[in-house]
Amino acid sequence: MDYLPAILIIVLLLAGGCTGISPPGTPPPTPITTTGTTPVPTTPVVTTTVTIAQPAIRDIIPGEGTAGTILFITDLDGSNFLSGATVTLVKRGYPNITATRVNVWSSSRITCTLSLPSDTDAGSWDVVVTNPDGRYGISPNLFVIRRPVTPTETSVPTGGIGITGISPRFAASSNSTVDILVFGSNFQNSISARLNRSGKADIHAYRTYVLDITRTQVRCYFNLPYDARGIWNLILTNPDGSTGMLEEAFDVRT
């Protein structure tokens, strides 16, 4: 039959993998290149917020000054102080006292100068440190302003008592017992001592003794009531009735 040779040719071409017949002189087909994109892993962006803690105040040296004087603070101790911080004394009912020449030496130390007004009443003041970001720290009743001390003496024929100073000048109200060393003149054996403050009952020393034969030092021991916070006068009385008083001598702090 005439169509058998044609069938055989088609079968042979299929067996050899040919799927089409190109005319003579046709260039070979151009291979198709497929370009793939490989995903690149990405790291998520993490936003870190740095929180700066507010200042904290531990101590101030010196911790007291006299009204009408200029005082150099050698060490305001604490933490989280920033450059540009301000230092202020604050007391309810009184204008704030802002320090000058503030130097922030480190995050834990500041030096500054305080000009204490001469018309400022004696008492305890809060110390406030404020960073440039507005955060602030406060330490209540850390600084004491005193009036200029003028001992009051009562003269009697045997000589009056003179008081020139005491040590320490303050104590915490949590201290149930405190001993005060008083410096002055004309102290007699068996002298009595008391702390006096307007509106409060006197606190009497439960023990006193004169330290030397010159009668210039006497040690006094007191039990402080729980509600003794405030500025107290010190009054000494000799057995012969002579007395002496140091006004605003002792501060009981919280």
CATH code of the domain covering residue 182: 2.60.40.10
Q: Residue 240 is inside which H or E element, if any?
A: none
Q: Could you read off the pLDDT of 39-96 as tens digits, one per residue?
A: 656 666 665 555 678 999 998 988 888 888 888 898 899 999 999 999 999 998 899 9
Cβ atoms of residues 88 and 111 within 8 Å: no
Place of tokens 């039990």: 223
pLDDT, position 126: 92
Structure tokens at 187: 């102290």
Domain stop point among 146, 174, 201: 146
Residue 225 has pLDDT above 50, yes or no: yes
Has residue 212 been placed in a domain? yes
Looking at the structure, tell me whether residues 130 and 112 fall in a common domain.
yes
For the cut 50, the answer to whether the pLDDT of residue 156 exceeds it is no
Instruction: Report residue 98's pLDDT band, with 50, 70 and 90 as the boundaries.
Output: very high
Q: Does residue 105 surpass a pLDDT of 90?
A: yes
Question: 160 and 134 in one domain?
Answer: no
Same domain, 159 and 202: yes
Same domain assignment for residues 171 and 135: no
User: Looking at the structure, do residues 106 and 187 belong to the same domain, yes or no?
Assistant: no
Q: Are strands 192-196 and 230-237 parallel, antiparallel or unpaired?
A: antiparallel
Supply the range of the domain harboring residue 62: 56-146
16 located within any domain:
no
**Does residue 19 lie within any of the structural domains?**
no
pTM: 0.48
Clarify whether residues 142 and 174 are in a common domain: no
Position 26 in a domain: no
Closest CA to 109 of 56, 65, 145: 56
Please count the structural domains in the chain. 2
Say if residue 175 is in the same domain as residue 244: yes
